Structure 1
Amino acid sequence: MTADIPTPLVTSRAQLLQQLARPVVHDLAVIGGGATGLGVALDAAARGFSVVLLESHDFAKGTSSRATKLVHGGVRYLAQGNIALVREALHERTTLLRNAPHLAQPLAFVMPSYKVWETPFYGTGLKMYDALAGQAGLGHTEFLGRMETLRCLPTAVAEGLKGGVKYWDGQFDDARLALALARTAARLGALVINYCPVSGLLYDAGKVAGVVCADAETGTPYEVRARCVVNATGVWVDELRQRDGQDCGQPVRPMVAPSQGVHIVVDRDFLPSDHALMVPKTADGRVLFAVPWLGKLILGTTDSPRQDLAREPVALREEVSFILGESARYLRRAPRAADVRSIWVGLRPLVKPQDDDSASTKSISREHTVLTSGSGLVTVTGGKWTTYRAMAEDVLRQCMHDRLLPHKPAGVTVSLALVGAGRIRNNGGLNAPQGLHSYGTEAPVVASLPGADAALAPGLSEAMVRFAARHEYARTVEDVLARRARVLFLDARLAASLAPRVAQLLAEELPGHDPQLEQFLQLANQYATVPT
């Protein structure tokens, strides 16, 4: 390691649990290791608070690893007239790209026009998008002719094509960004632990004073004292809110309206371009994307209300048919069910309008909500990946307003580079298969580990598995192949074929620990199965 690149922290689980057992009172306990919880933990640690974060499964196991991989202001929200949300998201987009250049980058989008009025109509709106971005813009919106559109989208349906509009947004690797947040928070002194579910709250004189949790691997219980507790469990926040309400004798009204989004992954040759395709209005009123990502093409997404909160939700047959059908309207060679490499589903924690239980999820705002219960439990939900940092500031502002934490100035994460921030030249970025470039400045450390030359698949080496176990909190085959490497999300059958060797490597790195191979093979089969 060079002098200006810190040595990666070792994520020994025994040491983490030893720290958890210490009889100390933390300033802040965060429940939930997705984008929101990790953002709160990082911001608090950067301000000098003592922080513990507990995640029931793996970091970003839920919604935060299942995004459309876009860092965006939200063209759709602009159409809804939510100017403030778009302006904030555009500002945060630039901040994210600057603080994690190895995990996020600009991406050009093309909106093809098959009706004469579409180019000027949507182009005018996207010019407004540019204006809202101001100096934070990534590129100027351009009006394209028919041939220019086909050069950008070579496999788009040419019949009836009038032209198009090109604009700029960003894309990122969501699960690895979550991991970078966790590791950066840890570097700043936060104690972050995965596989440590919270089962209850501690109270002093009717006020929340900490949490009860347990090591999911051994069942060992822990009591963690904290002056302030934040519930950042995403789509599952109501479960803890209900428990808090029961403990304090206060009725609680659910605040989340879950929505299911399905993404389908196919080979890149269905759209061999560095440009993404965007359809502004599909048959169900949603935006449809075809996004190049890590050597594949992501098609999505849907918006279906769900009442159940499964950890591994399954795509509905009609959702898959919808995405494939809409894709066939715009791609000359339309993907079929047999072409699907992986299919994955995320649940969005949309904030329910308190005066209208009938609102559809398509009409619900993506803005976040922060509230404090009578007992002092702070809950945050809603929002989106792009604004995770601003959401964290809002949460801490609420904690200070309620005098759960002493005041400390905000803005400390605006220019805070995340672990690994840096690029490797000539790597193709997020349009190329995952490789050492996703580690940024830590790439030399990975390359120095045993197995650096032993490739398991394009862009994945045995050394990367070892790095995941030693420095990235990985405990299972799924942790490695779903979130440290993104193989499960890109090609589920390939992930299944790699799983036995990954399990062997984890067994070497984590002696006596079960890497849960069979559970992963079942999950890979789910991701590879297209519902019929």
Structure 2
Amino acid sequence: MENEKFDIIIIGGGATGSGIALDASSRGFKTLLLEKNDFAEGTSSRSTKLVHGGVRYLEAAVKKLDKDQFNLVKEGLKERSRLLKNAPHLCSRLTLVTPLYNWWEIPYMFAGLSLYDFVSGKRGLGRSSVVSRGKMMDTFPHIKKSGLVGGIKYYDGSFNDARLNVTLLQTAQKYGAVCKNYHELESFIYDKKKISGVKVKDTISGENITYNSSIVINATGAFSDNIRKLDDKEAKKMLDLSSGIHIVLDKKYLPSNEGLMIPKTQDGRVLFILPWMGKCLVGTTDEKTTLNEHPEVSKKDIDYILEHLEIYFDLKIDESEILSSWCGIRPLVAAPKNASTKSIVRDHIITSSNSGLVSIIGGKWTTYRKMSEEVVDYVIPKFNLADTECKTKKLKLIGSENLKENIKIKTVDKDIKEYLIRMYGDKALEVTQSVEKIKRLHKEYALTNAEVVYTIKNEFVKKPLDFLVRRTTLSLIDKEASKEILEEVLSILQKELNWDEEKIISERNEALSILNNYI
């Protein structure tokens, strides 16, 4: 493919880049996507797993009569509806409850969440309602009972971010896109001071490759400013970075399938306590940060979350009970001086440099599709491409195209079948057919050897943590369990990718280093 001419080259394989690849390829443009690490290795696999309009933004919109905040909520709710329809195996309705400890908060919160329902309109997932104190204690047995007066129930969306990311790429491939992970941008190629291509390095083989296109889109999230400065040393900062951590606890702390939303902690942040992948997910923090390829979870942030859990739960949770934790960096559009990151409207900006590099700055998972549409709409007239309409509004993603049909998988245990359909949708049967004999990888989880083989052949897996962290998310819900099956995963990778012993040792050491230090 070296020196091959593409209509569009996209740098960055997270939510935004993958969405752009699908939008562009489905319109018929010859598209190449390049990612330095694994797809969704950064921010895009480290979200709070919510597809939402943003209750917090709606409150700010009403209080400040801020039309921008209101439109952000409205757009988010519209995209929430589309995502739940286009990838129903990965996205679902989630019930959330806000516990209240003052009587006056009940009418205030109910009015606010009823407005959230109203803005949702026909796309609403259910009507908000008041929950009695007794019902709160039945549903959440560990909740702080002293002073509890009740709660307000509302509905939003939940999703598997890392799997959605790879599903977008698979669907883009179906439309002809070429998607490559572990391909690092080294420099741009110019013709008369205009970008005409890119030089990249395959970080696995070490090969240097050139790809040609006059349209290069920078969709690298937290790294967007770095890529802009690679093109123009004088490029001004457009990003503010914020770190957010999540911790995972045993399901016993949240035995129901309903989550809790704490709208305002002591310092004004939002805290979610959510059911996710059979565990209890808690997050997130919001701190200004600097760019780091592997952001670490700080003890300060862990302590912050545990302290707030003590405020809302009648029990003390020890740090040793944390099954996994991770830190993500949010790319926010740069705010005015002295503004806190939690006050920034998480919108996005599309811009281009003098050389023609197009960059998309900011955004969030829920609106990835709309952002992608806007980027492609932006480049069509700018670069005189054929004017074609966006096709992604009702485009079913891989795994959801034949999901209504009964998927007959008779050769596996019931929990494995349910897990495979939830993760792979209508491709579940195809996963089981990847090996002659299906073998469970861990006694407590539904992962199998068939998944490893399938994801190597169909989902761009090239390293053990591609599978353990992002294709199955096991490392994000139980780090120790993922370490226990690491050798089995390495063995399958060795067989499928013809690794020698030196490669096995190198990959093992790299995987353990990341698991021990960053998850």
Tell me which interval the TM-score lies in, with the shorter structure as reference length: over 0.9
Q: Report if the CA contact (8 A) 2:251-2:279 is conserved.
A: yes
After superposition, residues 334-483 of structure 1 pair within 5 angstroms as 334-353=316-335, 356-403=336-383, 405-410=385-390, 412-421=391-400, 422=403, 434-450=419-435, 453-457=438-442, 458-483=445-470
Aligned equivalent of 1:3:
none
Aligned equivalent of 1:498:
485
C-alpha separation in 1, matches of 2:333 and 2:250? 35
Structure 1 residue 275 corresponds to structure 2 residue 251 = no
C-alpha separation in 2, matches of 1:461 and 1:519? 23
5+ residue gaps, structure 1: 1-19
C-alpha separation in 1, matches of 2:380 and 2:392? 17
Q: Report if the CA contact (8 A) 2:407-2:429 is conserved.
A: no
Structure 1 residue 80 corresponds to structure 2 residue 60 = yes
Paired amino acid for 1:392:
S
After superposition, residues 92-241 of structure 1 pair within 5 angstroms as 92-241=79-228
Q: Which residue of 237, 241, 247 maps to 1:258? A: 241
C-alpha separation in 2, matches of 1:407 and 1:378? 18
C-alpha separation in 1, matches of 2:407 and 2:275? 19
Q: Report if the CA contact (8 A) 2:199-2:210 is conserved.
A: yes
116-125 vs 39-48, which deviates more? 116-125
C-alpha distance after superposition, 1:109-163 (max 9, x if no partner): 0001111111211111111100111011111111111112223323212221101
Flag the 1:279–1:425 CA change in 2: closer, same or farther, 3 A.
Answer: farther
Runs (4+) off by over 4 Å:
423-427
Q: Report if the CA contact (8 A) 1:488-1:527 is conserved.
A: no
Q: Report if the CA contact (8 A) 2:89-2:421 is conserved.
A: no
C-alpha distance after superposition, 1:211-244 (max 9, x if no partner): 1111111221111111311000000011111121
Q: Report if the CA contact (8 A) 1:434-1:485 is conserved.
A: no
Q: 1:196 Cα deviation (Å)?
A: 0.4
Q: Report if the CA contact (8 A) 2:420-2:428 is conserved.
A: no
Aligned equivalent of 1:15:
none
Flag the 1:358–1:426 CA change in 2: closer, same or farther, 3 A.
Answer: farther
C-alpha separation in 2, matches of 1:433 and 1:277? 25
C-alpha distance after superposition, 1:427-484 (max 9, x if no partner): 9x99x99444311100111112226531012110011111111111100111010011
- Secondary structure of 1:397's counterpart equals helix
Q: 1:425 Cα deviation (Å)?
A: 8.3
Paired amino acid for 2:320:
A
Q: Which residue of 47, 50, 60 maps to 1:70? A: 50
Q: 1:191 Cα deviation (Å)?
A: 0.4
Flag the 1:98–1:267 CA change in 2: closer, same or farther, 3 A.
Answer: same
Q: 1:426 Cα deviation (Å)?
A: 13
Q: 1:527 Cα deviation (Å)?
A: 4.7
C-alpha separation in 1, matches of 2:459 and 2:92? 22
Identity of aligned residues (%): 39
5+ residue gaps, structure 2: 62-68
C-alpha separation in 2, matches of 1:57 and 1:404? 32
Q: 1:403 Cα deviation (Å)?
A: 2.9
Flag the 1:426–1:89 CA change in 2: closer, same or farther, 3 A.
Answer: farther
Q: Report if the CA contact (8 A) 2:245-2:327 is conserved.
A: yes
C-alpha separation in 1, matches of 2:252 and 2:226? 43
Q: Report if the CA contact (8 A) 1:104-1:171 is conserved.
A: yes
Q: Which residue of 295, 308, 316 maps to 1:313? A: 295
Aligned equivalent of 1:323:
305
Q: Report if the CA contact (8 A) 1:105-1:171 is conserved.
A: yes
C-alpha separation in 1, matches of 2:426 and 2:407? 11
Flag the 1:295–1:52 CA change in 2: closer, same or farther, 3 A.
Answer: same
C-alpha separation in 2, matches of 1:280 and 1:503? 43
Q: 1:357 Cα deviation (Å)?
A: 3.0
Q: Report if the CA contact (8 A) 1:210-1:223 is conserved.
A: yes
C-alpha separation in 1, matches of 2:171 and 2:476? 25
C-alpha separation in 2, matches of 1:404 and 1:362? 39
C-alpha distance after superposition, 1:18-64 (max 9, x if no partner): xx32x332110000000000000100001000000000000000000
Q: 1:406 Cα deviation (Å)?
A: 3.3
- Secondary structure of 1:80's counterpart equals helix
Q: Report if the CA contact (8 A) 1:488-1:495 is conserved.
A: yes
Paired amino acid for 2:198:
V
Q: 1:193 Cα deviation (Å)?
A: 0.4
Flag the 1:337–1:360 CA change in 2: closer, same or farther, 3 A.
Answer: same
C-alpha separation in 2, matches of 1:397 and 1:526? 41
Flag the 1:267–1:290 CA change in 2: closer, same or farther, 3 A.
Answer: same
Q: 1:76 Cα deviation (Å)?
A: 1.0
Flag the 1:348–1:451 CA change in 2: closer, same or farther, 3 A.
Answer: farther
Flag the 1:437–1:391 CA change in 2: closer, same or farther, 3 A.
Answer: same
Q: Report if the CA contact (8 A) 1:270-1:334 is conserved.
A: no
Flag the 1:193–1:73 CA change in 2: closer, same or farther, 3 A.
Answer: same
Q: Report if the CA contact (8 A) 1:294-1:433 is conserved.
A: no
Give me the CA root mean square deviation: 1.9
Aligned equivalent of 2:275:
292
TM-score, with structure 1 as normaliser: 0.91
Aligned equivalent of 1:522:
513
C-alpha separation in 2, matches of 1:175 and 1:426? 26
TM-score, with structure 2 as normaliser: 0.93
- Secondary structure of 1:453's counterpart equals coil
- Secondary structure of 1:299's counterpart equals strand
Q: Report if the CA contact (8 A) 2:215-2:383 is conserved.
A: no
- Secondary structure of 1:292's counterpart equals strand
C-alpha separation in 1, matches of 2:284 and 2:150? 24
Q: Report if the CA contact (8 A) 1:270-1:333 is conserved.
A: no
C-alpha separation in 1, matches of 2:232 and 2:309? 46
